[in-house]
Amino acid sequence: MKKILIGLAVATTLTITGCATLPSKPRTFDQLGQFSNTPLNAKTYRISFVADSNMSYGTAEEITLVKAAQTTLKNGFRFFKVMDDPSNRSQKPPRQAVVYPNPPMYGPYGYHRRHPAFWPDPFFDAPQVVNVEPAQVSYTIECFKDQKSAPQEAFDASLILQSLGQKYGLSPKGDVLQPEPSTPAK
């Protein structure tokens, strides 16, 4: 009987910890944050992206650039230029804060960690940097059909999707490689 109880306890512990350590399902490109693309005229679009709170500002800029390339190809263009308008220049990285965890009353060895006779453990007081607000990136882009009409500093949308698109689950034409099912599986 004792062996059965021990076996059940071990099985329960492994089940609980096994479920807690399973990786979550990877997100598709459209699930990385909130996208919006607003046509301003026949060749100009406003691309906006609000990232999740745990995403860095540099990654949010890269995803917005990929979304701009995807929008360019979807609308029949090949090249795009990021316009130098005031709203692009006023963007700043999200505010961050340094958070110090609350020290436990007793350390891992059962003694009071603030007592001067014991060596303090430096890993319990390690500060963490957290984003206070999510990263928001917006670009106004002007699209061009061919390289002759595009300015010299224009981006090639198909080249961006070939190099960065696969990293975010997009095909070289801008299609999502593994779209999320429309109805949840039961």
Q: What pLDDT, on the 0 to 100 scale, is given for residue 89?
A: 60
Reading phi first (left if > 0) and then psi (alpha if -120 to 50, else beta), residue 76 is in left
Q: What is the mean pLDDT of residues 107-120?
A: 55
Residue at 112 is within a domain: no
- Please report whether residue 3 resides in a domain: no
Indicate whether 51 belongs to any domain: yes
Q: Is residue 99 part of a domain?
A: no
Q: CA 150, CA 23: separation in Å to the nearest integer? A: 44
Contact indicator for 113, 107 with CB cutoff of 8 Å? yes
Q: How confident is the model at residue 95 (pLDDT cuts 50, 70, 90)?
A: confident
Whether the CB-CB separation of 140 and 85 falls below 8 Å is answered with yes
Range of the domain at 85: 27-93+134-168
Q: Is position 120 within any domain?
A: no
Return the HEC string of the chain: CHHHHHHHHHHHHHHHHHHHCCCCCCCCHHHCEEEEEEECCCCEEEEEEEECCCCCHHHHHHHHHHHHHHHHHHCCCCEEEECCCHHHHCCCCCCEEEECCCCCCECCCCCECCCCCCCCCCCCCCCEEEECCCCEEEEEEEEECCCCCCCCCCEEHHHHHHHCCHHHCECCCCCECCCCCCCCCC
Q: Is residue 14 a part of any domain in this protein?
A: no
Q: Do the bridges between strand 33-39 and strand 44-51 make them parallel or antiparallel, or are there none, so unpaired?
A: antiparallel
pLDDT tens, position by position, 55-93: 888 888 899 999 999 999 999 999 999 987 666 666 677
Residue 43 placed within a domain: yes
Confidence of residue 13 (pLDDT cuts 50, 70, 90): low
pTM summary value: 0.67
Q: Is 9 exposed, middle or buried (0-12, 13-18, 19+ CB in 10 A)?
A: exposed
Alpha-carbon separation of residue 56 from 60, 127, 168, 184 (angstroms): 6, 18, 15, 30
Q: Is residue 37 part of a domain?
A: yes
Tokens for 112? 């009071």
Tally of domains within the chain: 1
At residue 36, does pLDDT exceed 70?
yes
